[in-house]
């Protein structure tokens, strides 16, 4: 059996619009100028409290986190699945792996449990992921805790697992857990920051072959 663990924001779904809007509201709440879009996307993948502290180290980040969460929840409730649309090819790739009897699917995300559950419901992905690791119960990426928990829950060995993500935090988390990593080029960190990836793919159609190659090389 193999375990394929996906990051969410920037990997499976494009949520940058709502992320930037929510961060803008959070900074306005404490009277600060919103960082540049590139700086906001640069912290995607970190747990929200860690991300906020990096962007505004001297601010009342507790208040900012609360405003961010409230704004994001409102946008999600208003827009539904359009709040975080799946990237082209994402659903077909998930369906492909779900139809294989040698693959289990998981998620390791900086989202909260509430946020992930809502996203899964909005896209009709219930039952797709056998393990869901979220920020509520783990240290922020790149700490390997999420991947360790996913391996423990599924009984899969690290050599039979792969992490798929769009940020250097995902790549570093996988490395820290002793798991191979595959980077995606369409996400929020540039390809140049995905140095720990065994491969970087340009589309979901490349993922099955990339996983086979990476895991066979690790065997």
Residues 13 and 201: their CA atoms lie apart, in Å, by 16
Cα–Cα distance between 12 and 112 in angstroms, integer?
Answer: 16
Give the active site residue among 9, 160, 166, 170.
9
The yes-or-no answer on residue 101 being catalytic is no
119, 111 Cβ separation under 8 angstroms = yes
Residue 93 exposure: Cα atoms within 13 Å on the Cβ side: 22
The three-state secondary structure class of 182 is strand
Q: How many CB atoms neighbour CB 152 within 10 A?
A: 10
Asked about 102 being catalytic, the answer comes back as no
Does a cis peptide bond (omega within 30 degrees of 0) precede residue 142?
Answer: yes
Is residue 9 within 8 A of residue 188, CB to CB? The reply is yes
CA distances in angstroms from 144 to 56, 71, 213, listed in the order given:
25, 29, 23
Query: What residues act catalytically?
Result: 7, 9
């Amino acid at each position: 059996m193999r375990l394929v663990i996906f990051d969410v924001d920037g990997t499976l779904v494009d949520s940058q619009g709502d992320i930037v809007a929510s961060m803008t509201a959070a900074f306005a709440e404490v009277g600060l100028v919103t960082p540049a879009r590139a700086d906001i996307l640069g912290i995607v993948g970190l747990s929200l409290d860690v991300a906020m502290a990096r962007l505004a180290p001297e601010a009342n980040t507790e208040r900012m986190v609360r405003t961010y969460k409230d704004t994001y929840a409102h946008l999600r409730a208003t827009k539904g699945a359009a709040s975080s649309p799946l990237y082209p090819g994402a659903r077909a790739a998930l369906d492909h792996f779900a139809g294989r009897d040698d693959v289990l699917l998981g998620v390791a995300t900086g989202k909260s449990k509430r946020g992930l559950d809502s996203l899964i419901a909005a896209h009709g992905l219930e039952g797709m992921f056998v393990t869901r690791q979220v920020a509520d119960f783990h240290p922020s990426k790149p700490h390997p805790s999420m991947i360790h928990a996913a391996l423990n829950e599924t009984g899969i060995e690290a050599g039979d697992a792969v992490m798929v993500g769009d940020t250097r935090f995902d790549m570093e988390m996988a490395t820290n857990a002793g798991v191979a990593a595959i980077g995606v080029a369409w996400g929020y960190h540039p390809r140049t920051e995905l140095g720990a990836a065994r491969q970087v793919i340009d589309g979901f159609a490349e993922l099955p072959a990339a996983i086979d190659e990476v895991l066979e090389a690790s065997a």
